[in-house]
Structure 1
Amino acid sequence: MNIERLLQEALGSGQGRRQNPGQGGSTLPGGLAGGAAAGGLVALLLGSKKARKLGGKALTYGGMAAVGGLAYKAWRDWQQNRPSGTEADPLHLPPPPADSGFDMAQERDSAGQDFRLAVLRAMILAAKSDGHIDPEEHGRIRDRIEALGLGAEEKAALFDSFAAPADPAEAARPARTDAQRAELYLASALAVDPDTPDERRYLDDLARHLALPEGLRGHLDLEAEAARRQVGA
């Protein structure tokens, strides 16, 4: 399977680099920001909500790079008993160290697959948890996948993720380390705004299935809220 091609089409990653406003021209990998401009499938899913939510906007802006940075920041705060969610620019945190377990491109899931696939699937399942995707929107997503010219494996992976029910147990299953559990939860928390009963219930169930270390979820939630606050300001 061509993981890079799959992520490029799903997230818009590799579609260029995004200017980081107010930081002297520094840049951030495009991630879902590229997807928003270039028609990334997850950006399409997040943008199909009746009222676009800030969690989806944060993912569109920061992409998978933001997931790793935010999860690692929450993890370190939890370890050192420091407050989370107080940084001025949460969507532009430094990348996690290569040996931290939070460098998703170097990690494998419980089945030995590229861990980024599990993070992508977690985003998609969480984004569907409020039941907002109607048959017409399913059709648009299916048509977009068909038009991408992906290989059979890549296309099947996307069809499977978009067709799967929003099952928190399935989203949690690939995690094999606490770092991966934190990233799966953070990605899911950013794919929604927990402002409906269905979304709150989904995140509660996901945290339970992930068996996050005691206290860590609170730090992850604070980082996700900081990201939503940044894009909503």
Structure 2
Amino acid sequence: MDVSNLLNQLLGAAGGQQTNGMGAGQEAGAPGGGGVSGFLSGRGGAALAGGAMGLLLGSKKGRKMGGKALKYGGVAALGMMAYKAYGNWQANGSQGAAQSPAHTPARTPAQTPALPQTVDRVTGPALEQHSTAVLKAIIAAAKSDGHVDDRERQLIEEGLRGMTSDPQLIQWVDRELQKPLDPVEVAAAASNVEIASEMYLASVLVIDDQSFMERSYLDALGRELQLPPELLAELNTQAAAAQANA
């Protein structure tokens, strides 16, 4: 399954350009595509083939999501935001004993922290692993208000058929949509702290924090991802900055 390509289309990567492997100091894309932010604020719906993302987000499509960071950059922009949050967390000396044991062992003071391998910095199978986990998180967060019914699932499937000819991928998305909402099951897709960070960040950008149901789901997901409080704070800061620029 080519999940990274589908996710880039859903996020409206400008001109369908390849965005993986982009360094943290590079600009995400160039003016052109509307992207998620443009679509959700009523400016760029044509960027989302069939409106699948709009249907997935339902009542949220009138709300700005992700700001300029996601407007042109697709998957890479999300990775860059996670990279910055992770880097700030490392710089503050939080990686040692505060690191979540579920993802990466604590390092000794003599070790230099490795550069975070976020989705913008990986290729091949690793890129697919990150992208699959992020798409799973987006679908779950979109379901957290309980709005996706059978008719909407059918329309989402029709929209996805305009983006991919891979029946396995379409069936996978449909299975994710039909699953009961379970933050434990969603969090199990995070095999390392970078993926966990990306999943949480994507979820923050999708949920409506004024909704009790959605906020409760996000809080539960954060607990199940076992991300340290300092890193969660950095991820929330990055999301808030992106939304402020929308």
TM-score w.r.t. the length of structure 2 is 0.69
Matched AA of 1:177: N
Distance between the aligned counterparts of 2:10 and 2:214, measured in 1? 22
- Which residue of the other structure, out of 203, 210, 214, is the alignment partner of 1:188? 203
2:92 is the alignment partner of 1:101: no
- Contact in 2 for aligned 1:145/1:158 (Cα 8 Å): no
User: Which residue in 2 is equivalent to 1:211?
Assistant: 226
The Cα of 1:202 is off from its aligned counterpart by: 0.8
CA RMSD in angstroms comes to 3.3
| 1:192–1:199 CA contact under 8 A, matched in 2 | yes
**Number of residues paired by the alignment?**
206
Structure 2: distance between partners of 1:223 and 1:4:
22
SS at match of 1:114: helix
Aligned partner of 1:28: which letter? G
Q: Amino acid of the residue matched to residue 129 of structure 1?
A: S
Q: 1:108 to 1:216 in 2, by over 3 A?
A: farther
What does 1:74-113 align with in structure 2 at a 5 Å threshold? 74-81=85-92, 100-104=116-120, 105-106=122-123
Tell me, in whole angstroms, the C-alpha distance in 2 between the residues paired with 1:80 and 1:165.
38
Q: Deviations over 1:19-41 (max 9, x none)?
A: xxxxxxx6617694598423246
Q: Are the counterparts in 2 of residues 68 and 102 from structure 1 also a CA contact under 8 Å?
A: yes
Matched AA of 2:58: S
CA offsets per residue over residues 201-221 of structure 1, 9 Å max, x none?
011100110000231111111
- How far residue 227 of structure 1 moved from its aligned partner, in angstroms, is 1.0
> Which stretch shifts more, 143-152 or 122-131?
143-152
Per-residue CA deviation, residues 83-118 of structure 1 (Å, 9 max, x unaligned), is xxxxxxxxxxxxxxx953113543757xx9622111
**Per the alignment, do residues 159 and 134 of structure 1 end up closer, same or farther by CA in structure 2, a change over 3 Å counting?**
closer
Q: Distance in 2 between matches of 1:72 and 1:149?
A: 29
AA matched with 2:186? A
Q: How does 1:49-128 map to 2 (within 5 A)?
A: 49=59, 52-55=62-65, 61=71, 62-81=73-92, 100-104=116-120, 105-106=122-123, 114-128=129-143
State whether residues 204 and 218 of structure 2, in contact with CA within 8 Å, keep that contact through their aligned partners in structure 1. Answer: yes
The aligned counterpart of 1:142 is 157
Gap runs ≥5 in structure 1: 18-25, 83-97
Gaps of 5+ in 2: 18-26, 40-44, 94-113
In the alignment, which residue of structure 2 is the partner of 1:94? none
What are the Cα deviations for residues 99-143 of structure 1, in whole angstroms up to 9, with x where unaligned?
Answer: 53113543757xx96221111111111122112334443332133
Contact 1:189 1:224 in 2 (8 A): yes
Partner Cα separation in structure 2 for residue 11 and residue 5 of structure 1: 10
Deviates more, 1:141-150 or 1:212-221: 141-150
> What is the identity, as a one-letter code, of the residue corresponding to 2:116?
S
Name the residue aligned to 1:44: 54
